[in-house]
Amino acid sequence: VPLGLGFELHPDMVVVELAGGACITFHLGHAKPADDFTFFIRLLGSMQRQKRKARGEQGPALGPPRGRDDDARSECSVQTATCQQQLNSTPMSSVANDPKEVKKMFKMFTETMRRGRDFYAMRQDGALYDMECALSKGHDEFRMRWDGQKRTIPLRDMLHIRTCVEARKLGLGFPTDERCATLELQTGECITFKFGHVEACERFILCMRILVEQKRPHFASQGF
């Protein structure tokens, strides 16, 4: 990462680059927490930029405009040694840098999913087919219905919700792009959905990750 920090970065480290040029480095202990931290902070920062743009405000000038796949550092950028390129390729523009906005978006997502939504799922040959998906009332089951068939997947059986970049490492057998989200189950099975636009895919990934984390068993250590 060309920031001239004066020390070597490792996959379990995250650098927050502020608009003023200062950098704050965090050591998360493992690469996965570092990637998750980066993912969510970038989501939050990007939505704040979108919110400010909607109000007609301008962020601090930081040089000439850059490509759509860049992080466009108007507030700050967050980087790790392993996922900088992956996350730079996804324009995170669907979540606000405001807990209230995130909570509002999450509530709307769960309410809509309880009623059911039509998604496009991907077959092994990459072809799309219609599938109706819904959450159970308790948000603990993901229900699917297609071509007269039904399937219910407990959220506790979901290992992770993968972006297209992460899904490429799973050997799905078909190409995915930034409009694709993949449910990776504990059994190793994967189910991929393709959305009409990137923002819808990002919202699905974020909200489903929150749900899965909420339903994931957490074990408290017992005292000796």
pLDDT digits (tens, 9 = 90+) for 130-145: 999 999 999 999 999 9
Helices assigned H by DSSP within 147-197: 164-167
Q: Is the pLDDT of residue 161 over 50?
A: yes
Mean pLDDT of the chain: 75
Tokens describing residue 44: 């939050």
Q: Can you give the pLDDT at residue 73?
A: 30
The C-alpha atoms of residue 158 and residue 208 are separated, in whole angstroms, by 10
For 165-201, b where at least 16 C-beta lie within 10 A, e where not — what string? Answer: bbbeeeebeeebebbbbbbbeeeeebbbbbbeebbbb
What is the structure's pLDDT at 83?
Answer: 35
Please tell me the distance from the alpha carbon of residue 174 to that of residue 43, in angstroms, as a whole number: 27
What span, in angstroms and rounded, lies between the C-alpha atoms of 156 and 58?
43
The whole-number pLDDT of residue 22 equals 80
pTM here is 0.56
pLDDT surpasses 80 at 172: yes
pLDDT of 77: 43
Question: Quick one: tokens of 224?
Answer: 């000796």
The pLDDT assigned to 133 comes to: 95
Residue 1's contacts (CB-CB under 8 Å, 6 or more residues apart) are 9, 15, 79, 81, 84
pLDDT, position 100: 73
Query: Per residue in 118-141, is it b (16+ CB within 10 Å) or e — as a string?
Result: ebbbbeeeeeeeebebbbeeeeeb
What pLDDT does 221 receive? 47
Higher pLDDT, 156 or 52: 156
pLDDT tens readout for residues 33-90: 777 777 677 767 666 666 666 676 544 433 333 333 332 232 334 444 433 333 333 3
- Give the per-residue pLDDT at 99: 67
